[in-house]
Copies of this chain bind each other. A is one copy, B any other.
Amino acid sequence: MSGLRERKKEATRAALSWAAVRLTVERGLSAVKVEDIAAAVGVSPRTYNNYFSSKAEAIAFRYLERSLRLAAELRHGPPGEPLWEAITRAALRQLEPGPEVERMPPQEPDEWAAGVRVMLAEPALEAEMLRASKIAEKELAAAIADRTGTDPGSDLYPRLVAASVMAANNVALELFVQGGTGEPMEVLLPRTLRMVAAGLPTP
């Protein structure tokens, strides 16, 4: 599992993904060629395609990884904890910056945030992010099914909870990057989760 091979592979994948994000934020998606991303990491363009089958997939990979951590956290928590508390804790935990952030200190936070907004507006990106969401949702449904003793193949409950959690997550994230209110994710996310957990009666 943690042989030299696997670790090197993951390092290359992360490097490619990160390079793709950085270049896209700097120049815009269409101005970045696959060749550029590969060159930035020091591999051949062909190798790039062994890791990611499109530019969008490389960029969305970072989001996918973070989303998958939600399900992983849920599995590794204390089994006795009430479901929704465990979910909220796992969701908050996923917000903590991973070890990859320290590699790229954002020197110009404002400019970078603007670039990210432009990046997320790309339709191709949007589709790939949603796909990542759905992959994570499947993992999450499996984890919830484990916890609640339901069957993800035939029961509605785990799927619905997983879908609702991702919905809450995405709504909070949207509102955050859109920056309407200045509230941080640590505030928005628990609020949306509480709302979907409690139900959504007309206010």
A-side residues, CB < 8 A to B, are 82-84, 123, 126-128, 130-131, 133-134, 148, 150, 153-154, 156-157, 159-161, 163-164, 166-168, 170-171, 174-175, 180-181, 188, 191-192, 195-203
Contacts and interface: CB of A to CB of B under 8 A. Distances in A.
Contact of A127 (B131, B157, B175, B180): B131
Contacts of A150: 203
A140 to B, nearest CB: 12
A84 B202 contact: yes
A196 to B, nearest CB: 6
Contact of A157 (B134, B159, B180, B203): B203
A160 B192 contact: yes
Given A198-B199, A203-B150, A192 B130 contact: no
B154 A200 contact: no
A160 B167 contact: yes
